[in-house]
Amino acid sequence: MIRIILIGYMGAGKTTVGKALAAELGVPFYDLDWFITTRYRRSVPEIFAERGEEGFRDLEHRMLHEAAEFEDIVLSCGGGTPCFYDNMDYMNSLADTIYLKAAPEVLAMHLKMGKGRRPLIEGKSHEELEVYIQESLQAREPYYSKAKYTLDVSLLDNESKIQESVRLIREMLKV
Ligand code: S3P
């Protein structure tokens, strides 16, 4: 049985790598944010606006318990998922968890484009974004580092990043 959960900061490539990995392994791919937004028929920014971050974390926690119970899946979760409730221990108890680790500069570069879809960084200038990433990454690292495996994606060459990540993950997990 294959149950792989990708964790890591916003912009680390969890969804992109997760999709490619699932396709290679021939199993379905799920994205926790997608699961939440489909179930509640609201976008992530709408949920933050209506229920606050606390409300979002509650839904995220509940949806994680549904999504992570599926067998033979690759699941990517949100950047904050491991850092609330006992989510990280829960994920470790039933899946191969992989931390896609990237340096703050790499994350800032990736996030420049998708800021509007992410309420925590919306409206920040490039400088503010870099400071925010540095500080919150440091706060989140203790949770992320609980993952069973870590893959440092900032060291990979840009061109072949996705294929190389998939190859390295398969090698680590022997799948
Ligand atoms: C968040 C990350 C987002 C999404 C929400 C909060 C976070 O997911 O869950 O905006 O706290 O880091 P991605 O990591 O897929 O962007």
Q: How confident is the model over 135-172, as pLDDT tens digits?
A: 999 999 999 999 999 999 987 877 788 999 999 999 99
Which of 126-144 are b and which e, b meaning 16 or more Cβ less than 10 Å from the residue's Cβ?
Answer: eeebbebbeebbeebeebb
The mean predicted confidence, pLDDT, of the chain is: 95
Q: For the segment 24-41, what is each residue's pLDDT rounded down to a tens digit?
A: 999 999 999 999 999 999
Contact in structure between 99 and 5 (CB atoms under 8 Å): no
Expressed in angstroms and rounded, the spacing between residue 80 Cα and the centre of ligand 1 is: 6
What pLDDT shows up at residue 117? 87
Handedness of CA 119, 83, 135, 146 (dihedral sign): negative
Q: 93 C-alpha to center of ligand 1: Å? A: 22
Query: Cβ(120) to ligand 1 under 6 A?
Result: yes
CA angle 17, 21, 27 (to 5 degrees): 135
Its pTM stands at 0.96
pLDDT given at position 155? 79
Question: Ligand 1: does its nearest atom lie under 6 Å from the Cβ of 78?
Answer: yes
Q: Which atom of ligand 1 is nearest to the CA of 15?
A: 15
Please tell me the distance between residue 160's alpha carbon and the centre of ligand 1 in angstroms.
24
**What pLDDT is attached to residue 160?**
86
Alpha helices, DSSP H, located in the chain:
14-25, 32-40, 44-67, 87-94, 104-111, 126-144, 161-173
Q: Please tell me the predicted confidence (pLDDT) of residue 159.
A: 76
pLDDT by residue (tens digit) across 88-116?
Answer: 999 999 999 999 999 999 999 999 877 77
CB 13 within 8 A of CB 84: no
pLDDT at site 157: 76
Which tokens hold the place of 20? 């490619």
